Structure 1
Amino acid sequence: MTRFAILLGGDLAVTPRLKSQIRGARVIAADSGMMHAAALHLVPELWVGDFDSAGSELTMQYRDVPRETFPAEKDATDGALAVAEAIRRGASEIVLLGGLGGQTDHTAGLLGQSIRIARDGIGCLLTSGVEEAWPLIGGRMSVDLPQGTRLSIIPFTDFQGLDLVGVKWPLTNRDVPVGSTLTLSNVALGPVEISLRSGSGIAIAYPPQAADV
């Protein structure tokens, strides 16, 4: 398994849980996402983007990191370019760091992109260190969550046959239409099993910070 961590320009809380999620990962920075490298004690193998927001200090500090430069007017975000490069380099799992909690349009775009990544058979996690998200597509997945984690499931299309196990309010073979709030603010009792017969959406979790030990 080849895990890639993609450094994005949003807020990032460096917690022990986050560090464990990227341990051993290869790293690509997307433009100003390089600002997280020092706090994570990482040196990316590649730095991509149009470099309109990286700043001269970062540019000097990481001048030895190979770069791939793109024009400012392009048809993909710097993060999407970094993801494409990770996939080209053989990623079987991608962790997007710093992509949650910023501009709503960019966050929504990343959540949609994560579903596309999952449909290509590549595991995907988005995290800010405080908030975590996983794409859901038809099939079964396990999520290792500390007890007491708030967990919401957001359908992007109508869900058919949703099962939730390991939560305060479990579900069995439940159909959940787009716009339903049925699956908001559940509580994990520990590791959670999610099974979905068809549909796509996002699981969003807020692990207790006390669990980051």
Structure 2
Amino acid sequence: MTLTQQRIFIVTGGAFGPWAEEHLNTLNPGTDLLVGADRGALHLVRSGYRPRLSLGDFDSVTPEELAEIRSGSEEFTACDPVDKNWTDTELAYTWALERSPSEIILLGALGTRLDHTLANIHLLRKGAEAGIRSRIIDDHNDIELVRDRIVITAGPYAQVSLLPLTTEVTGITLSGFQYPLENATLQIGQSLGISNVLQAGQGTISIRSGLLLVIRSRD
């Protein structure tokens, strides 16, 4: 599959604030696309953005807010809240994957609902299998799923934690970290990979098999 040189930002109905707008301000209007899922579309419209697409069942907004979303979006798609099998975030993420972007960034995908938070993190598997980099970002976390190798650079999220999403992840090798690993294995339920720190400005994480969550975080 050939990836396009574009990023797709998806804003969902979870936590949203000035930190989200900092990321949205990096959007290139010539190539990048902006998608609002359910109440996330309202966040965008009220923050002065015009989504390329707003979609969902919109069961979390009032009729007045729905009209606001519809008029503020380039394209609008509503679905039945009862007769659908997928969350609004998954619908938006699937739409984004079909366009083969270079990267998908989800904002507002973390919040008070742990079920939705975990479901959104599990969505990253689809992107990893398609070879499309995907990240979930909020004010305290930057989360992505690795199936081979990734290079990360120092930034606002000082801690770097590794958690298996599969039963085990083998061949884990870290370079540029305070606590290096060489051909290590992590099994689901272990905490060995929690709270590492970059030693220099850049670090490399590579694995041989499995799916590894890389979570950069700050308090």
Are residues 148 and 105 of structure 1, via their aligned partners in 2, closer, same or farther at CA, if it must alter by over 3 Å?
closer
Q: Aligned ranges for residues 195-210 of structure 1 at < 5 Å?
A: 195-207=206-218
Name which of 168, 178, 191 aligns with 1:168: 178
- The total of aligned residue pairs comes to 207
Separation of aligned partners in 2, 1:62 and 1:145: 37
Aligned pair partner of 2:76 in 43, 56, 67: 67
User: Structure 2, unaligned stretches of length 5 or more?
Assistant: none
What is the aligned counterpart of 2:23 among 19, 24, 27?
A: 19
Q: 1:148 to 1:109 in 2, by over 3 A?
A: closer
**Cα distance in 2 between the residues matched to 1:51 and 1:33:** 10
**1:33 and 2:40 matched:** yes
Indicate whether 1:155 and 2:164 are aligned.
yes
Aligned to 1:122: 132
Question: Normalising by the residue count of structure 1, what TM-score does the alignment of the two structures yield?
Answer: 0.87
One-letter amino acid of the counterpart of residue 111, structure 1: I
| RMSD across aligned positions (CA) | 2.2
Note the 1:124-143 alignment, pairs <5 A: 124-137=134-147, 139-143=148-152
Q: Which whole-Å CA distance do the structure 1 matches of 2:117 and 2:108 have between them?
A: 10
CA contact (8 A) 1:19 1:40 kept: no
Q: 1:90-129 to 2 correspondence within 5 Å?
A: 90-129=100-139
- The TM-score normalised by the length of structure 2 is 0.85
8 Å Cα contact 1:12-1:98 kept in structure 2: yes
**Counterpart amino acid of residue 208 in structure 2:** R
Q: 1:36: how far off?
A: 2.7
**Offset of residue 30 of structure 1:** 0.4
Distance 1:143 1:155 in 2: 18
Contact map agreement 1:168 1:188 (CA 8 A) in 2: yes
